[in-house]
C-alpha cells in the first residue's frame, strides 16, 4: 500500500521556545542567534502558541510575547497527511502550527520544514508532484463520495527515443510532455508524474469528462512540435467511478485498484500501437 507521509513523521518534538512573558527584543535576538524563523511559546511549562519573526517585526519592541502573538494558534493532529497540512498552511496563511499527539500539544510544525519535506515529493526533472499526491486527493474525494476519474498517460516508444537520441534528449521530451500536461490540465484536477514515462491526472468528475480530457491531452501532445523534431505521442487509459454508499473497506485500496486499472488500460492502448484511449468504466462498489 502507498505510504503517505504524515505530520507525525516530521514535526519538531524538540523545539526552540520562549516564555510568554519574554520581551519582543529578546525573542528577536534569540531567533537570530538560533537561526530560526519562529519558535514555540511556553506558559508555565505548557505549549501555548507559536511566535514568528514576522509577528515580532510588527510589534512594539517593549511588548511581551503574549502581546505579540497574532490570533489563536492553529493546532493540527499529528495523524494528518503532508498534503492536508499543506492545504491548511495555504488556507490560514500561518507560518507554523502546533501539533497535537495523543491528546496533548507535543510540538510544532513550521511551514518551511513542511515545504522542505514536500520538496522530496516533487519530481526534480519535471517539477510535478509524485504519485502520492493524487493518492491523497483521490482518497479524499472518495471519502467525500465524489465522482472521480483517473487518466493514465504513457509516452509511446519512450525507450526507443532514449536509445536513439540519448537520455538527455529523453529528459527534454519528458519535460516538454510535463509542461503540455500541466498547462492543459484543468485547475480542479491533480496531475503527477507517476514514474518513468508515466503521468496520471485525477479529476473530480464523471468518467466521460475524464475521457474527454484524455482525448484532448493526447491530441495536444500529438500536435506539438518536440525538440529534434521527434515524433512523440502518448497513450491513455481512463477509469472512474464513485463510492455510492458507506463502506468499511479502505479507500486507499480502492484508489490503488483504480490506478492499476487505468495503468493497464494505457498499457493496452500502447500495445495496440496507436494513440488510443481505452476506457474502463468501473463501478467502485464492485471493485473495492
Nearer to another protein, 66 or 287 (CB): 66
Measured distance CA(135)–CA(7) in Å, rounded: 17
Interface with another protein includes 213 (CB under 8 A)? no
CA-to-CA distance for 84 and 102, rounded, in angstroms?
A: 19
- Interface residue with another protein, options 62, 168, 187, 223 (CB under 8 A): 62
**DSSP for 39-88?**
EEEEETTEEEEEEEHHHHHTS-TTSBGGGT--SSPPEEETTSBHHHHHHH
Asked whether position 72 contacts another protein by CB under 8 A, the answer is: no
For cell 507535543, the residue is 106
Q: Which three cell numbers stand for residue 285?
A: 462498489
Q: Determine, following the binding rule CB under 8 A, whether residue 74 of this chain makes contact with another protein.
A: no
CA-based nearest residue to 173, from 231, 237, 236: 231
Give the residue with the Cβ less far from another protein, 43 or 250. Answer: 43
Minimum distance between the CB of residue 47 and another protein, rounded to whole angstroms? 17
Q: Is 63 in the site for another protein (CB under 8 A)?
A: yes
Instruction: For another protein, give the closer residue by CB, 20 or 177.
Output: 20
Q: Between 59 and 156, whose beta carbon lies closer to another protein?
A: 59
Which DSSP letter does residue 128 get?
A: -
Number of CB atoms found within 10 A of residue 105's CB: 16
Number of residues that bind another protein (CB under 8 A): 10
Least Å from the CB of residue 60 to another protein: 5
Nearest alpha-carbon partner for 257 in 244, 245, 243: 243
Q: Binder to another protein among 60, 90, 183, 286 (CB under 8 A)?
A: 60
Q: Verify binding: residue 67, another protein, rule CB under 8 A.
A: yes
Summarize as ranges the residues that interact with another protein (CB under 8 A). 20-21, 59-60, 62-64, 66-68
Amino acid at each position: 500500500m502507498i505510504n503517505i507521509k504524515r505530520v507525525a513523521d516530521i514535526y519538531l518534538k524538540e523545539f526552540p521556545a520562549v516564555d510568554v512573558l519574554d520581551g519582543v527584543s529578546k525573542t528577536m535576538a534569540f531567533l537570530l542567534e538560533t537561526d530560526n524563523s519562529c519558535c514555540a511559546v511556553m506558559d508555565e511549562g505548557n505549549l501555548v502558541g507559536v511566535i514568528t519573526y514576522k509577528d515580532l517585526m510588527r510589534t512594539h519592541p517593549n511588548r511581551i510575547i503574549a502581546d505579540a502573538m497574532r490570533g489563536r494558534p492553529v493546532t493540527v493532529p499529528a495523524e494528518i497527511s503532508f498534503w492536508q497540512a499543506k492545504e491548511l498552511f495555504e488556507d490560514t496563511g500561518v507560518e507554523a502550527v502546533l501539533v497535537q499527539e495523543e491528546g496533548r500539544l507535543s510540538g510544532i510544525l513550521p511551514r518551511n520544514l513542511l515545504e522542505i519535506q514536500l520538496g522530496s515529493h516533487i519530481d526534480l526533472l519535471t517539477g510535478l508532484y509524485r504519485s502520492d499526491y493524487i493518492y491523497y486527493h483521490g482518497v479524499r474525494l472518495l471519502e467525500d463520495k465524489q465522482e472521480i476519474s483517473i487518466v493514465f498517460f504513457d509516452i509511446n516508444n519512450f525507450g526507443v527515443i532514449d536509445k536513439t537520441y540519448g537520455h538527455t534528449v529523453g529528459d527534454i521530451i519528458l519535460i516538454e510532455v510535463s509542461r503540455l500536461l500541466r498547462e492543459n490540465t484543468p485547475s480542479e484536477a491533480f496531475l503527477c508524474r507517476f514514474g518513468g514515462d508515466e503521468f496520471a491526472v485525477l479529476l473530480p468528475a464523471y468518467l466521460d469528462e475524464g475521457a474527454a480530457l484524455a482525448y484532448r491531452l493526447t491530441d495536444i501532445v500529438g500536435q506539438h512540435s518536440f525538440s529534434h523534431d521527434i515524433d512523440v505521442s502518448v497513450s491513455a487509459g481512463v477509469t472512474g467511478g464513485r463510492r455510492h454508499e458507506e463502506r468499511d473497506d479502505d479507500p486507499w485500496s480502492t484508489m490503488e485498484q483504480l490506478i492499476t486499472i487505468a495503468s493497464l488500460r494505457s498499457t493496452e492502448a500502447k500495445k495496440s500501437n496507436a494513440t488510443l484511449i481505452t476506457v474502463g468504466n468501473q463501478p467502485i462498489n464492485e471493485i473495492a
